[in-house]
Amino acid sequence: MGNQVCTMFGLDAPIFAFSHCRDVVVEASRAGGMGVLGTAGFTPEELEIELNWIDRHVHGKPYGLDLLMPVSYETVRLKPGQPTSALLPDQQVAFVDELLTRHGVPAMPVEESETLRRATLNRFTITPTQHVQILDIAFRHPIKLLVCSLGTPSAETVARARTAGMKLAGLVGSPEHACRQREAGVDLIIAQGSEAGGHTGQISTMVLTPQVVDLVAPMPVLAAGGIASGRQMLAAMALGAAGVWCGSVWLASPQSDAPPEVKQRILSARSSETIVSRSYSGKNSRVLKSAWTDAWAAVDAPPTLPMPLQSLLVKEAMARAQKVRSEPLATYPAGQVIGQITSEISVRQIYHDMILEFADQLEKLHKKYS
Ligand SMILES: Cc1cc2nc3c(=O)[nH]c(=O)nc-3n(C[C@H](O)[C@H](O)[C@H](O)COP(=O)(O)O)c2cc1C
């Protein structure tokens, strides 16, 4: 199944697997595609551990790293000795407490909450200074692809990636963003449609992909959002994509470290059970619809907090809810394709099935229309 993107990275199939979970990344790369680790959620020290583990297990296969580069976010400054509660307005804290109490979720001891909030802040590597820390680590590993999402890479990042022999990709939700990424100097574009899990724009994959393909040609484009089968992959290629970038399809696999109640919901949810909400990160992202997203969507709900402060509320609330395995509150980034995920299938098997269905459907179409 070789093409331009396969040649660029030495892949058997142009299927890219985004995940925050190292097991998914390694399995995807070993299955002949390319695993890409999301750095959001790791301190620089934790990331170093993850990358060392990947290097030991990936058998020399190519893998990538994804970095959040948001254009806007709240600059967080805590004075020495100041608790994180100083960052959070009383109105939103009281709103969350009331919601969790209503669902029978016990409070978290103050010390545990403080530790968790600080860890969450340290794991939010979104500022240029934090990017340098992350990249200093990344450049010590044999990473083949650096993906920049929510914003463009700086000239320095592009130059450092080039020196390290890495390719750069920009993940975009609109043609305008694709132009900005191209001007910044990336080598490929990931066009992510609105049905995708995680931060998302308003244009569907079906509409966005051909526009971006035409706009940035001959630069290769990966299609993302709503792709979890060989038929969907074939459709993406028909739209001009050189490969596919998938995130939700791995969530229920045994390699995924999503919490058990999230996996359970993914397996049982219909496509209509995701929603675009600011309540998960402070920016619009598609997540599992839940009692959490419903509450923040109510007319009397307070406004969500800007990134990264909303995450302080979310991580603590989800940690509290997980202790009592609260399925109604379980909120997690997930795309509309979860409606077609009904059993726990390994990453390797998903690759196998996608490639087989792609080839089979291609042949059927060929017979039907030639
Ligand atoms: C659980 C989850 C977390 C995500 N986190 C990020 C992230 O940190 N950075 C990023 O660039 N994309 C993130 N995404 C979006 C994916 O990179 C990808 O574009 C998207 O999942 C593709 O659409 P799909 O969900 O329909 O497969 C996330 C997606 C999911 C499902």
Residue 361: burial class (beta carbons within 10 Å; 0-12, 13-18, 19+): middle
pTM above 0.85, yes or no: yes
130 pLDDT tier (thresholds 50, 70, 90)? confident
Ligand 1 atom closest to residue 246's alpha carbon, by position in its atom list: 27
pLDDT tens per residue, range 259-279: 999 999 999 999 999 999 999
Please indicate whether residue 225, judged by its CB atom, sits closer than 6 Å to ligand 1. Answer: yes
Please indicate whether residue 198, judged by its CB atom, sits closer than 6 Å to ligand 1. Answer: yes
Please indicate whether residue 248, judged by its CB atom, sits closer than 6 Å to ligand 1. Answer: yes
H helix intervals, 104-152: 110-122, 128-138
Q: What residue spans define the domains of the chain?
A: 4-73+126-250+343-364, 84-123+259-323
Place of tokens 């470290």: 257
193 pLDDT tier (thresholds 50, 70, 90)? very high
* CATH assignment, 4-73+126-250+343-364: 3.20.20.70
> What is the rounded distance in angstroms from the CA atom of residue 106 to the CA atom of residue 171?
39
Look at residue 233 and tell me whether its pLDDT is greater than 80: yes
Ligand 1 atom closest to residue 224's alpha carbon, by position in its atom list: 22
* Phi-psi group of 150: left, alpha or beta (phi > 0 → left; psi -120 to 50 → alpha; rest → beta): left
User: What is the distance in A from the centroid of ligand 1 to the CA of 104?
Assistant: 30
In this prediction, residue 76 carries a pLDDT of 80
Look at residue 106 and tell me whether its pLDDT is greater than 90: yes
The mean predicted confidence, pLDDT, of the chain is 95
Look at residue 295 and tell me whether its pLDDT is greater than 90: yes
Ligand 1 atom closest to residue 226's alpha carbon, by position in its atom list: 26
Residues 339-349, mean pLDDT to the nearest whole number: 97
pLDDT tens per residue, range 7-25: 999 999 999 999 999 999 9
Q: What angle do CA 249, 254, 255 make, to 5 degrees?
A: 80
